Structure 1
Amino acid sequence: MKRLYYILLAITPLFSFGQQYVLTPNGLADSMDITKDYLVITEEDKTADELYEICRKNLYTISQNTNIKVIGEIANEYIRYSMEVPTIAVIKKLGVGLIAEAYFDVEIRFKDGRIRHQVTNLRMPFRGDDMNQLSLTGSKWGGWAVFDKKGNVSLKDQKLQIENYFNQSVADLLKLTENDNNDDW
């Protein structure tokens, strides 16, 4: 039953949109081409100006219960913001529950009919413990790492939790661009 749950959880984003992130030892990457550390979302019937305005107007809706701070923007070209997520992954081992928070930057670039979404500077410290963090790669004995030094997944559940968070953020962004007539009240 647990295996079925994880399979359903992993394929759910595929039904909502075509582009999704996959977590690699180097960070987030496009699941279709892991050499790209960004996603390109197509919205062929919208101009860069329209896409920018939709994202700018709904920036706090995209952020899913996080602290958000705009750190750079050029009108109709890009928005760069910094985010804090209170819980991105939970590790339960030997009766101990460790909660990993996340701090990262997101850059959204706009062209006619396309949005480029990129996550950078991902850092995942444990709540209440800035000295230790959930890292992407590392040794089993050197702390908590999603991947071991050979690139094999060592924390499958946490890898899935992180991927689901970012894929849901992109799905929310896509929903906003498709349903921009929310001013009709």
Structure 2
Amino acid sequence: MKKTILFSSFILSNLIFAQEFKLTSNNFVSKADESKNYEVIEKPGKTKEQLFTEVKKYVTASYKGLKFDGYNEVANEQIVLDVRNEEGSKAKMLGMSLFSGFVSIRYEMNFKDGKFMIRPTFQKAETYSNNKTNTIYLTGGNFLQGSVFNKKGDVSLKQIYEMAVKTNDEFVSNLVKGVENNSNSDW
């Protein structure tokens, strides 16, 4: 019974936590406090070394081939990870995709006893259309090259915005779940 209650509360907290970041023209910020660009995940009773190991196990199992290319660490202190989510468009015309591309988000994770901090940063997006590659940044676009947010701070490229939010929500939710699964590895 105790395990069922604990598992249910864990699942509920994961569903809620995945929605804790908001993408703005100032990058990802905490929904609870927009002056913060990070969230702290509490794991009472765990040392920073244990948390570091659990996060590292999840990352290396889930994101193969990242060592030396998008992955850096300071042992038991910090992990920095570049995550790239590639996606093709569902919109097609004459059998050809109108949009495909990727979003790149950098995650910085710092560790302390009983908790770790995660800070996502939107790096860029690239789109491929008609044999042309277009790099899209968070802000600063013009009529030749778009950006996710226009000068007024409004979303100007909704598909890229949604892709970035989805990528971040999935990464954070899966990370929290992955750490929990590493913690409870009864075999």
Correspondence 1:36 to 2:36: yes
Correspondence 1:75 to 2:69: no
Whose strand proportion is higher, 1 or 2? 1
Match of 1:85 in 2: 85
Cα–Cα, structure 1 residues 13 and 29, in superposed 2: closer, same or farther, change >3 Å?
Answer: farther
What per-residue deviation string (whole Å, max 9, x for no partner) do you get for residues 37-66 of structure 1? Answer: 222211123221111110111213454xx7
Cα–Cα, structure 1 residues 157 and 182, in superposed 2: closer, same or farther, change >3 Å?
Answer: same
Cα–Cα, structure 1 residues 93 and 24, in superposed 2: closer, same or farther, change >3 Å?
Answer: farther
Shift of 1:140: 6.5
| TM-score, length of structure 1 as denominator length | 0.73
Query: Residue 153 of structure 1: which of 129, 151, 155 is its match?
Result: 155
Select between 47-56 and 91-100 the one with higher mean Cα deviation.
91-100
CA distance in 2, matches of 1:156, 1:121: 15
Match of 1:173 in 2: 175
| TM-score, length of structure 2 as denominator length | 0.72
Match of 1:53 in 2: 53
What per-residue deviation string (whole Å, max 9, x for no partner) do you get for residues 97-126 of structure 1? Answer: 222313343221111121111233612112
CA distance in 1, matches of 2:91, 2:140: 19
CA distance in 2, matches of 1:90, 1:134: 16
Indicate if the aligned counterparts of 1:125 and 1:134 stay in contact, CA closer than 8 A: yes
What per-residue deviation string (whole Å, max 9, x for no partner) do you get for residues 134-179 of structure 1? Answer: 3322457333332221011223343233112111111111112222
User: Which runs of no fewer than 5 residues in structure 2 stay unpaired?
Assistant: 1-11
Residue correspondences, number: 170
Indicate if the aligned counterparts of 2:42 and 2:115 stay in contact, CA closer than 8 A: yes
Fraction of identical pairs, as percent? 28
Shift of 1:92: 5.2
- C-alpha RMSD of matched pairs (Å): 3.2
What code does the residue aligned with 1:147 have? F
CA distance in 2, matches of 1:102, 1:133: 10
User: Which runs of no fewer than 5 residues in structure 1 stay unpaired?
Assistant: 1-11
Cα–Cα, structure 1 residues 123 and 91, in superposed 2: closer, same or farther, change >3 Å?
Answer: farther
Secondary structure of the residue that 2:44 maps to in structure 1? coil
CA distance in 1, matches of 2:42, 2:62: 17
Which structure is larger by alpha-carbon Rg, 1 or 2?
A: 2
What code does the residue aligned with 2:17 have? F
What code does the residue aligned with 2:47 have? T
CA distance in 2, matches of 1:122, 1:80: 13
CA distance in 2, matches of 1:113, 1:81: 21
What code does the residue aligned with 1:22 have? K
